[in-house]
């Protein structure tokens, strides 16, 4: 994977898009419940269609599918950048606190959301029998 990312445009494109989403979130006083619930949607989207970000549109895809996946991914990274310490993606760290003035610092606690999502995914995995 590291070899693919070394010569890929995705990290460069994200480095331009994610800060724009961070600024939008700062303007609306940080991520809200809608943004947080969108994280689960994006994680499922990336599991199903994440390869399109690396390799382009698949046969039968409508126009704009890859752009939609890219924008949702950039938004999700921007939301995660509000976590303490930010988030590191493709070797780049995104930390919303670097974009904020000292007057406008706020913290978002994603731990309950992340914990519940992990528990839900564990339950789903228990239901799947890989050795049928």
Pairwise pLDDT comparison (114 vs 15), residue with the higher score: 15
Q: How many angstroms from the chain centroid is the CA of residue 125?
A: 22
* Torsion from C-alpha of 57, 62, 63, 69, nearest 10 degrees: -60
Distance between CA atoms of 30 and 36, rounded to whole angstroms? 11
The full DSSP string for 26-52 is HHTTS--HHHHHHHHHHHHHHHHHTHH
CA distances from 106 to 80, 82, 103, 109 (A): 13, 8, 9, 10
pTM greater than 0.95 (yes/no): no
pLDDT tens digit string along 50-86? 888 777 777 777 888 888 889 999 999 999 999 888 8
């Amino acid at each position: 994977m590291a070899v693919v990312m070394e010569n890929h445009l995705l990290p460069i494109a994200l480095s331009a898009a994610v800060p724009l989403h961070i600024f939008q979130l700062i303007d609306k006083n940080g991520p809200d419940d809608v943004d947080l619930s969108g994280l689960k949607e994006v994680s499922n989207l990336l599991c199903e269609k994440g390869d399109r970000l690396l390799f382009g549109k698949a046969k039968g895809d409508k126009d704009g599918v890859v752009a939609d996946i890219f924008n949702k991914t950039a938004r999700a990274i921007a939301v995660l950048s509000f976590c303490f310490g930010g988030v590191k993606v493709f070797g780049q760290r995104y930390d919303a606190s670097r974009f904020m003035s000292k007057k406008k610092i706020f913290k978002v606690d994603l731990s309950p959301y992340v914990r519940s999502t992990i528990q839900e995914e564990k339950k789903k995995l228990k239901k799947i029998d890989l050795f049928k």
